[in-house]
Structure 1
């Protein structure tokens, strides 16, 4: 892909409902560190909008592929009010704009100050995006899995034309763990949990829950995760999405400093000396945001170590005083049983040139069809049944039945 020279262009002034916005589009992350961290102090975000995440993504995924990010910063009277981190991709033969790393993130959005979140209107966003598209020389934007709001602040991109994302996000509002547990599960289900833990210990050895502490332990747990998921994907007959660049990206995240909101914290359940399950994510402000999980191939799978680990992590998050345990995007039985917060998401498919319609129209139709199947009470159970027949429970990171 020939890279546009937008990094050499001067900032432009765009009229908006907030008044004139100075728009600066840059191809690097490091020069924006102070602005980025400053906006993190006032804007809502998830791990994938943070400076640490973006720096690791560019270094390990974009740069080795000869690509640069497309970072748009808007300022009013010299004061940064938003930062939107994009990248370019090829889709159906056309160059398109996406959120940075959107295929590997649960939630995608920009960093928007309270002023920008409240005041930017649809026409403002269209003008700003059109200007960014011209700088990046793309035909369309494919902006997936965006929340309507976050931590009570509106997402201004929700004012653009949109369609529902095929899946939504699931989270547990935390507090008194015992009250949550009793409210979610009946006596029979709670007995199942106790029986699972007892059987794991009887047949495998001591059951230990924990988090990676040192960088070395974090790395070791991450490699265990890669091995377990690689085997699971192979049994499912699908390509492993953790390609070498993505693995290097994750290796950077697990060694970020403690307290960094993008640090990937490796959570595990050991039975004896074996890591039988992992649930890992980032502690981002008041939320433990889980982004990946795995199970070991062993006889212990029949006792659902993933579900045992999930319960222990939720209790840990309650004890730590966090507000949410976010289990991520996509429906699954264990998510539905635990969660009392559902986050609807939307996609924005925007054509900037006539040829951009060759991308946005078919992909928009495919996304609608996918959502229709997932929300059909007849078709979706049939799809799930077919998956189970083909692959067993390998696609369910929780493994097992809560009922």
Structure 2
């Protein structure tokens, strides 16, 4: 891609925004202000506004500055950061990256293959009366700005109803993603939280797991606090997950070096009062197996929202003790005590998630074609989603496809991860 100064591109006068000064639609329009779009290639130029916008509870941690910076550092994709502004104020940022496929050039959310929920970044006081106007004209704006470098914009895995508010882009044409995400609300006490999901059964499973691990010499729940520990636990996770995927005949979505470097970069970011991009939890044995780690999970926290990014278990040791299930119990109890109000198991419909969760969040994909070729890509995207829905309902077809993907995957190939395969 040639070096283009996106910031100097003029905004067409034909696409001015009319903003309502009052919420009463019966009133005449009292004022009109231009909403201008610009496209940037440097995260640092937008960092101050970016971090201000990401502070909103409605903004996904996957669009946070540190998350996106870690992905950009470990992947060569061109950044296309769409900024919406009114005067000098930034009212939204869509952090996109350009991915060149065999037939299409796609602008997508940064790190989308490994994100569980995407929202973009919008100002808390973004006037909801303008959202329909924004949606109606965003396609034209993006086409004018990006059609020279991209064929299609895909904003995937977006919940249109999140934190009790309707997403500003909900008026745009969208298709339901083949996967939902699943959450467990954390209530005033751990006992109240468990009461939502059969507390008696959960405690019984917890006691059985503890008893079996005590027979091996006991265990401890560890949270990696040093960079060295995080690096070692994360490397062990990649090893455990590779064994698991191979045993199941599934492609390894954590195989490529760029993906592993990305998670190592996240793990190196120190926690703050607002949260942590990647916290590594583990079950470590004592006794004769002292130091052996039998379960690992990676959590991301933003405010009172925690997302489980991944998990793994030792396939050879203590499998009958269900160490993965035990680790979730301990992590949720810890999060509950720390004031977390939502424990998110991430995207993908799996039995263990449904056993823990009381909330299912529907996610949608917004697909915006920018060129004629992009229209073909949009049609292909919609067809692919429908096919995935059908395949996931057909166990034999799903198993065959996963075996085929595994056979085609090579050690140096960059996987196209599907996060519900974890």
Classify the TM-score, shorter chain.
0.7 to 0.9
CA RMSD across the alignment? 2.8
Which residue does the alignment assign to 1:78? Answer: 88
Query: 1:231 aligned to 243, 248, 271, which one?
Result: 243
Secondary structure (helix, strand or coil) at the match of 1:157 reads: coil
Task: Within 5 Å, give how 1:334-373 maps onto structure 2.
Answer: 334-373=352-391
- Residues of 2 paired with 1:160 and 1:4: CA distance? 31
Secondary structure (helix, strand or coil) at the match of 2:335 reads: helix
**TM-score with structure 2 setting the length:** 0.83
Judging changes above 3 Å, is the alpha-carbon distance between structure 1 residues 314 and 169 closer, same or farther for their aligned structure 2 residues? same
Q: Mean Cα displacement is larger for which, 174-183 or 185-194?
A: 185-194
- Residues of 1 paired with 2:48 and 2:234: CA distance? 30
Task: For residues 48-70 of structure 1, give each alpha carbon's deviation from its aligned partner in whole angstroms, at most 9, with x where no partner exists.
Answer: 111111111111113xxxx3210
Shift of 1:231: 1.9
Which residue does the alignment assign to 1:16? Answer: 17
Which residue does the alignment assign to 1:252? Answer: 265
Shift of 1:223: 1.2
Matched, 1:68 2:81: no
- Residues of 2 paired with 1:322 and 1:346: CA distance? 26
Shift of 1:366: 1.9
Judging changes above 3 Å, is the alpha-carbon distance between structure 1 residues 4 and 116 closer, same or farther for their aligned structure 2 residues? farther
Is the contact made by 1:48 and 1:262 (CA closer than 8 Å) also made in structure 2? no
Secondary structure (helix, strand or coil) at the match of 1:326 reads: strand
Is the contact made by 1:147 and 1:344 (CA closer than 8 Å) also made in structure 2? yes
Is the contact made by 2:267 and 2:277 (CA closer than 8 Å) also made in structure 1? yes
Task: Within 5 Å, give how 1:4-403 maps onto structure 2.
Answer: 5-7=4-6, 9-10=8-9, 12=11, 14-18=15-19, 19-42=33-56, 44-62=58-76, 67-91=77-101, 93-116=103-126, 118-136=128-146, 137=148, 138-175=150-187, 176-185=189-198, 187-188=200-201, 190-203=203-216, 205-242=217-254, 243-259=256-272, 261-272=275-286, 273-374=291-392, 376=393, 379=394
Unaligned runs of 5+ in 1: none
- Residues of 1 paired with 2:401 and 2:262: CA distance? 33
Is the contact made by 2:294 and 2:318 (CA closer than 8 Å) also made in structure 1? yes
- Residues of 2 paired with 1:22 and 1:383: CA distance? 45
Which residue does the alignment assign to 2:414? Answer: none
Shift of 1:179: 2.5
Judging changes above 3 Å, is the alpha-carbon distance between structure 1 residues 159 and 4 closer, same or farther for their aligned structure 2 residues? farther
Secondary structure (helix, strand or coil) at the match of 1:364 reads: helix
**TM-score with structure 1 setting the length:** 0.87
Secondary structure (helix, strand or coil) at the match of 2:215 reads: helix
Task: For residues 153-178 of structure 1, give each alpha carbon's deviation from its aligned partner in whole angstroms, at most 9, with x where no partner exists.
Answer: 32122211111111111111002212
Report how many residues are paired.
385
- Residues of 2 paired with 1:279 and 1:153: CA distance? 30
Shift of 1:135: 2.8
- Residues of 1 paired with 2:308 and 2:208: CA distance? 26
- Residues of 2 paired with 1:28 and 1:89: CA distance? 17
